[in-house]
């Protein structure tokens, strides 16, 4: 007999990864259409909660209208002699996994950013109350974590009550994040890993260090350490640092070994502090994406909540498709907002000195982490809307990246072979060196051309074109390695 016989739909690992499209959903909770939503686990004293109790504050599933989006708060309270506060975050992250076990229920993201959908098919089968979801959570938590002696689950759909809890939840998340801020990667002998998201992204391995919180933003070094101790067979595990191979890029022999083993050979090297070369893999739960902007040789950040297109003309969802899946994608890196506060934030790529654009709400959130002299030099959607405007803005504001452009131009003019500069009237033109940002050209394995969606400017313009006139080559969603570029001019009437 299954422990879910009284649930009207099936429950099991097989449903993890199930996607529910808009046309198939009965209704959804949270997501981009809802401002306030959260999920939270809190450790309580044994006397404070009632084991197995499920509370619904506000309308239940059967009271909701088909096709609509609703706010939702999920509060899971746990108690037990061995339950410590340190475990709250990792238990909280398992809500994602357990809800996804329910046939026809989809759960995305975490903390203040959750997005759930119930399918029409499961609703028709009778899944019409949060009571069922509460029972699933209660039973799965207790069977996976025997240290939980009591568990109580509350679902909040009443917007007023959500509002009260939402503020508290944000303060709790902030207090958790603040704990690891004073620590450095060199202060500890081991990091921790997480492979919870391998159900969606099979080669993804999160490496969690004091200076690099998990990219979902939900698990810091303390949380992962506590989880690895109480649940050694679970998704969190210790990662011995091994030898420090590269201090700037954050490459450790122990991290490389574990990443290779846990990704089944897919990932061989990890640079923890860089989005180029061997970047940390990205699953799909990242809070934000750091993306390279070739037109200005800078880095942009876009968060999951940002609506509209980023300065490179791409929406978060478009970039997320390219970034996620457990791959190492040079020039796109899934990150947590908290990582932007780290002293190791993209250190090998220039850190904050390389950041040129981010949404205004993110800028506001991390303003205190941005070096003071840079705060008014990093543009938001309120300042510029495309890369041409961004380029001008950076020049006007004297962003440090502008100095980098000048250095590159000087180096290019000095080093370019004679035939690359102003050939008189060639019918075939071989370009030995294309203008590329120095950092990208230096990336092992070539340029991350998935990103080449910018202006490729020939030094001095095109032969036969007016002085100063350039041209654009636009590559979209392609991966090309360029060793040599041949440009032919077609004369009228001739092929
Ligand atoms: S993003 Fe990383 S830390 Fe967060 S749940 Fe997924 S694998 Fe674990």
- Chain segment 407-436, per-residue pLDDT in tens: 665 555 555 444 433 333 333 333 333 334
Ligand 1 in reach of 89 Cβ (< 6 A): no
144 and 93 in a common domain: yes
pLDDT of 439 reads 37
pLDDT of 17 reads 82
Ligand 1 in reach of 207 Cβ (< 6 A): no
154 and 191 in a common domain: no
pLDDT of 481 reads 55
- CB proximity list for 314: less than 8 A, separation 6 or greater: 291
What is the mean pLDDT of the segment spanning 344-369?
97
pLDDT of 200 reads 84
Q: Whose CA is nearest to atom 5 of ligand 1?
A: 196
Boundaries of domain holding 477:
419-488
Among 114, 149, 179, residue at a domain's last position:
179
Q: Whose CA is nearest to atom 1 of ligand 1?
A: 216
- pLDDT at 353 > cutoff 50: yes
Q: What is the pLDDT of residues 32-69, one digit of tens each?
A: 999 999 999 999 999 999 999 999 999 999 999 999 99
Ligand 1 in reach of 90 Cβ (< 6 A): no
Q: What is the pLDDT of residues 288-322, one digit of tens each?
A: 999 999 999 999 999 999 999 999 999 999 999 98
Ligand 1 in reach of 116 Cβ (< 6 A): no
What is the 71 CA–ligand 1 centroid distance (Å)?
24
449 and 332 in a common domain: no
What is the 207 CA–ligand 1 centroid distance (Å)?
9
Among 149, 179, 209, residue at a domain's last position:
179
Give the residue, out of 98, 195, 197, 263, with the most ligand 1 atoms within 8 A of its beta carbon, to mutate for a pocket test: 197
Output the CA–CA distances (angstroms, integers) from residue 374 to 291, 335, 398, in the order listed: 19, 21, 9
Q: How many domains does the chain have?
A: 3
Ligand 1 in reach of 109 Cβ (< 6 A): no
Residue 209 lies in a domain: yes
Q: What is this structure's pTM?
A: 0.78
Residue 248 lies in a domain: yes
357 and 289 in a common domain: yes
pLDDT of 404 reads 86
Q: Which two tokens stand for residue 160?
A: 């007023």
303 and 204 in a common domain: yes
Given pLDDT bands bounded at 50, 70 and 90, which one contains residue 119? very high
What CATH number does the domain containing 22 carry? 3.30.1650.10
99 and 72 in a common domain: yes
- CB proximity list for 43: less than 8 A, separation 6 or greater: 77, 78, 79, 83, 84, 85, 87, 88
Residue 409 lies in a domain: no
Ligand 1 in reach of 206 Cβ (< 6 A): yes
Q: Whose CA is nearest to atom 4 of ligand 1?
A: 216
Residue 4 lies in a domain: no
pLDDT of 1 reads 64
Given pLDDT bands bounded at 50, 70 and 90, which one contains residue 166? very high
Lowest mean pLDDT among 10-14, 202-206, 248-252, 491-495: 491-495
- 52: region left, alpha or beta (phi > 0 left; psi from -120 to 50 alpha): left
Residue found by looking up tokens 């080559």 in the block: 473
What is the 195 CA–ligand 1 centroid distance (Å)?
6
- pLDDT at 441 > cutoff 90: no
What CATH number does the domain containing 343 carry? 3.40.970.20
pLDDT of 458 reads 46
Ligand 1 in reach of 91 Cβ (< 6 A): no
Residue 25 lies in a domain: yes
- pLDDT at 278 > cutoff 70: yes
pLDDT of 434 reads 39
347 and 202 in a common domain: yes
191 and 167 in a common domain: no
Output the CA–CA distances (angstroms, integers) from residue 234 to 77, 224, 292, 492, in the order listed: 20, 11, 35, 68
Q: Are the CB atoms for 60 and 153 separated by under 8 Å? A: no
What is the 41 CA–ligand 1 centroid distance (Å)?
17
331 and 226 in a common domain: yes
Ligand 1 in reach of 148 Cβ (< 6 A): no
**Three-point CA angle 373, 287, 171, nearest 5°:** 80
What is the 56 CA–ligand 1 centroid distance (Å)?
28
Helix 221-230 with 88-100: angle, nearest 10 deg? 70
Q: Distance between CA atoms of 31 and 99, rounded to whole angstroms? A: 16
Q: What is the pLDDT of residues 221-241, one digit of tens each?
A: 999 999 999 888 999 999 999
438 against 388, higher pLDDT:
388
172 and 229 in a common domain: no
Q: How remote is the C-alpha of 70 from its chain's centroid?
A: 24
């Amino acid at each position: 007999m299954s422990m879910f016989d009284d649930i009207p739909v099936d429950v099991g690992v097989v449903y993890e990864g199930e996607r529910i499209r808009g046309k198939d959903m009965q209704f959804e909770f949270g997501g981009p259409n809802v401002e306030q939503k959260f999920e939270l686990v809190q450790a309580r004293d044994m006397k404070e909660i009632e084991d197995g109790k499920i509370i619904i504050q506000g309308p239940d599933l059967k009271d909701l209208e088909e096709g609509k989006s609703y706010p939702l708060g999920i509060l899971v309270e746990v108690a037990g002699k061995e339950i410590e506060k340190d475990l709250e975050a990792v238990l909280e992250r398992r809500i994602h996994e357990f809800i996804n076990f329910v046939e026809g229920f989809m759960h995305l993201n975490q903390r203040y950013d959750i997005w759930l959908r119930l399918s029409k098919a499961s609703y028709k089968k009778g899944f019409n109350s949060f009571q069922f979801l509460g029972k699933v959570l209660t039973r799965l938590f207790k069977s996976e974590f025997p240290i939980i002696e009591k568990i109580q689950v509350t679902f909040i759909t009443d917007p007023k009550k959500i509002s009260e809890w939402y503020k508290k939840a944000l303060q709790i998340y902030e207090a958790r994040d603040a704990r690891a801020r004073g620590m450095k990667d060199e202060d500890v002998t081991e990091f921790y890993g997480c492979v919870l998201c391998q159900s969606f992204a099979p080669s993804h391995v999160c490496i969690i260090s004091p200076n690099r919180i998990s990219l979902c933003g939900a698990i810091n070094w303390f949380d992962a350490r506590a989880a690895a101790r109480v649940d050694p067979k679970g998704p969190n595990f210790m990662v011995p640092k091994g030898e420090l191979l590269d201090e700037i890029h954050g490459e450790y022999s122990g991290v490389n070994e574990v990443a290779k083993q846990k990704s089944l050979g897919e990932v061989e090297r990890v640079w923890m502090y860089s989005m180029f070369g061997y970047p940390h893999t990205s699953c799909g739960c990242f809070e934000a994406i750091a993306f390279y902007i070739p037109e200005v040789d800078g880095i942009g950040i876009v968060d999951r909540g940002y609506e509209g297109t980023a300065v490179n003309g791409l929406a978060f969802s478009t970039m997320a498709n390219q970034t996620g899946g457990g791959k190492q994608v040079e020039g796109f890196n899934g990150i947590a907002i908290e990582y932007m506060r780290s002293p190791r934030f993209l250190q090998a790529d220039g850190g904050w000195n390389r950041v040129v654009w981010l949404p205004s709400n993110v800028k506001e959130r991390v303003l205190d982490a941005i070096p003071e002299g840079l705060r008014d030099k990093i543009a938001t959607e309120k300042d510029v809307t495309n890369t041409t405007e961004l380029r001008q803005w950076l020049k006007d504001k004297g962003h440090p990246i502008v100095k980098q452009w000048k250095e590159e131009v000087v180096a290019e003019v000095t080093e370019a072979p004679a035939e690359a500069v102003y050939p008189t009237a060639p019918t075939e033109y071989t370009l030995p060196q294309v203008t590329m940002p120095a950092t990208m050209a230096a990336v092992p394995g070539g340029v991350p051309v998935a990103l080449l969606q910018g202006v490729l400017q020939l030094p001095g313009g095109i032969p036969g074109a007016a002085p100063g006139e350039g041209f654009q080559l636009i590559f979209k969603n392609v991966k090309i390695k360029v060793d040599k570029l041949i440009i032919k001019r077609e004369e009228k009437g001739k092929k």
